[in-house]
Amino acid sequence: MTPRLSELRAACLPFVTRSLRGQRRRLAWAAAVVLSLVSLLGGLWLAHSIGARPLRTDLRWETALHEREVRSYTVYADTEAEERHLRRAVDRLARGEGASDGRVRRVVAAGCSAMTSFGDGGYAQRAEPDLVEAAQRAASSPICRHDLGSIAVPDDPEWARLVLDHDLVPQVRRYTSPLGIAATLTAIGMIAGAIVGLGLLILAPLLIGLQMAQEVHDNTLQPLTGTALTARHLAVGLASGPLAAIAIALSGPLVLWGIGAVASGHVGAAAASLVSVVAASALLVVTAQLVAMTLGRQRSPGIVTIVLAAALGAIALAGIALALEGGGRSTGGLVATLPGSASVLTWMRTFAPLSSIAGFGAHTPVMRIVLGTGGMLVLAGLGTLVMERKILARSDGLLSRLEATIATVVLAAMALVAVPRRVDEFSDVYLLSLFALLGPLQVVLMARVPVGSLPPKLRTIPLTRLLAEYGVALSIHLLMVLCVAPTSNLGELSLGGVLHLGWAVLVLGLMTVRGMATPTSVAARLWFGIVLVAAFAEFGIGAALVADGNGSVFPMWHAPPLAGLVYIAMLVWGPWSLLRGLRRCGATIT
């Protein structure tokens, strides 16, 4: 075993042992059996039950029943009673009494339409003379004399021969699913894949976040920090415990997923789905740990769990909704960047022929998914570093300058990936991606503020350096936009709009540094809220000016003078109050 693997094993062993102690290991295996059974039974139900027929039809696993009935010139009964009823209807039809059942009538109408079309010359040119003759005879038979209406029929002489072989009287059979063994395995794999996805994307972050919240709230984390495990070991180890139990519970469905993927013939899509699910899960797990560690000090584990469950549920629902609609022109990029969404999309591509229809997922090309997945993996790695440093509570920043730059590049790339493909003007690409990037960029900036366990008054806040780094991050984003977006309208950008945007972005950065570096009172938080609203308003004004280019630089030009004065005061007082708050807390500002 390599030293690195040995270290990893040493870090995970205590927590895996703890998670699987006593009955817990058996419970995990029992869960594996139950979930495997659920996958099997769910798959069998999906593949063969009458109740799941609409689903199978929607998923394009089988043709619609009415089409199948026409194609096979057979009417299918779901129950014994229905079969008896249909047989009576068919018998009456054979006796020339007409079709009393709607479904029988539709099938017969198709048959009669086909026979009639021989006379119109449709089949006649391609069919054998004997078939044409027989069809013309049949068209005038008592069965076709009733008004059956007209219906589209398969343009196939062989089908016409089948109809004639049955003397225009449809067969009656009990319905059975047309899916074979491979399709059944695919259905089982689909259910199993959904279980694995839900387990890794929702259950794992939730359990790991809950555990972290409990450790922090009950103060059981501190004794662990005094052991021979490093902070990095603890960050990884604490996640490994619940993950081990979840991995055992999901082992059965995972195997069934693999079998289903092979049976579906889309092993590549399945592998992509697995990688995507693992990357999204890693990011969500680390994020849940960080949130739980931050909130767990002030809030009970129950509250933290509710917050996490709500957030994960919202992400999952949004991801599933975006993926199921196939990632349209507006949302194709979001599918690639929203954790779990690409997993659902690739899962669909693996198992559902629906996804192979034209247009499905066309706006989420492989490259976008690869970028999104890679970005999530990098962010998960950086998140682990942040966790490690949070556990250490060192007074340096949670990310080094290089790490923050990497995070910025990745986030900017993901923001660009998320921009809809129909957006092709430089200003629109820049503004949309900047809007998507600003929030995550504040998180990176927070991780650069050196606080740790040092009291606020003893902190040295390198404000100039932090703002310079923030500026560099924004420049990196601008450069990336310049590289990927057409720059034809670059010269038309409004300078006034850029100034408004600059103010909004600067104030957001100042708010982040101020909030992170010094404690905030209730009044300060209220003021933060007002400044935040002002920043968003300024961003909106700036964006409108940049996009339009003809608006007034001073948006309060037509407003009452008092409103204009308040606006100007806000522009000055907002950033100044944040700077003053930083200085008043006693920290050294450089």
Partner 1 sequence: MHLALDNLGKTYDGDAWAIRGVDLTIASGSIFGLIGPNGAGKSTALRMIATVMDPTEGRVSYDGQAAPAGHALTTTEVRRRIGFLGDGNPLYKQMTPAEYLRLYGQCFRLDPAELESAIERVLATFDLTAKASTPAGELSKGMRQRLLIARCLLHEPDLLILDEPADGLDPRGRSDLRRILRQVNADGTTVIISSHILRELDDLCDQVAIVQRGRIVVDGEVDDLIDRYDVSRYVYRLRLLAGVDEAHTILGRTRSLVQDSAEVDGATELTLQVPGGESAMADLLTQLCAAGVRVCSVGRIRSRLEDVYDHLSADHVN
- Give the shortest CB-222-to-partner 1 separation in angstroms: 6
| 66 vs 457, beta carbon nearer partner 1 | 457
Looking at the Cβ atoms of 27 and 571, the one nearer to partner 1 is: 27
Residue pair 289/208 in contact by the 8 Å Cβ criterion: yes
Q: Give the footprint of partner 1 on this chain (CB under 8 A).
A: 10, 13-15, 17-18, 21-22, 218-220, 222-231, 392-395, 452-458, 586
Cα of 314 vs its chain's centroid, Å? 10
Cα–Cα distance between 69 and 79 in angstroms, integer? 16
Q: How far is the CB of 30 from partner 1 (least distance, A)?
A: 19
Q: For the CB of residue 455, give the shortest distance to partner 1 in the complex, in Å.
A: 4
Question: Residue 270 burial (CB < 10 Å; 0-12/13-18/19+)?
Answer: buried
Q: Cβ closer to partner 1: 227 or 552? A: 227
Q: Which is nearer to partner 1, 167 or 218 (CB)?
A: 218
Closest approach of partner 1 to the CB of residue 234, in Å? 9
DSSP 352: -
DSSP state of 75: E
Q: The tokens of 379 are what?
A: 């962010």
Least distance from C-beta 219 to partner 1, angstroms?
A: 6
We find the least distance from the C-beta atom of residue 360 to partner 1, in angstroms, to be 48
CA torsion 15→17→23→25, rounded to 10°? 90
Angle, vertex CA 272, rays to CA 353 and CA 368, nearest 5: 95
Q: At what angle do helices 231-264 and 341-351 cross, to 10 degrees?
A: 20
Smallest distance from partner 1 to CB 217, Å: 10
Q: 286, 387 in Cβ contact below 8 A?
A: yes
Rounded CA separation 145/93 (Å): 11
Q: Residue 171 or 230: which CB sits closer to partner 1? A: 230
Q: Which is nearer to partner 1, 18 or 299 (CB)?
A: 18
Interatomic CA distance for residues 94 and 168, integer angstroms:
8
Q: How far apart are alpha carbons 143 and 238 in whole angstroms?
A: 75
Q: With respect to partner 1, which residue has the nearer C-beta, 189 or 301?
A: 301
**Alpha-carbon distance 380 to 397, whole Å?**
18
Nearer to partner 1, 453 or 550 (CB): 453
Tell me the three state secondary structure of residue 400: coil
Closest distance to partner 1 from the beta carbon of 202 (Å): 24
Token digits of residue 58: 């929607």
Work out how close the CB of 561 gets to partner 1 at its nearest, in angstroms, rounded to a whole number. Answer: 45
Distant-in-sequence, close-in-space partners of 95: CB < 8 Å, separation ≥ 6: none
Nearer to partner 1, 49 or 227 (CB): 227
- The kind and range of the H/E element at 353 are none
Taking a C-beta distance cutoff of 8 angstroms, is the pair 213, 304 a contact?
A: yes
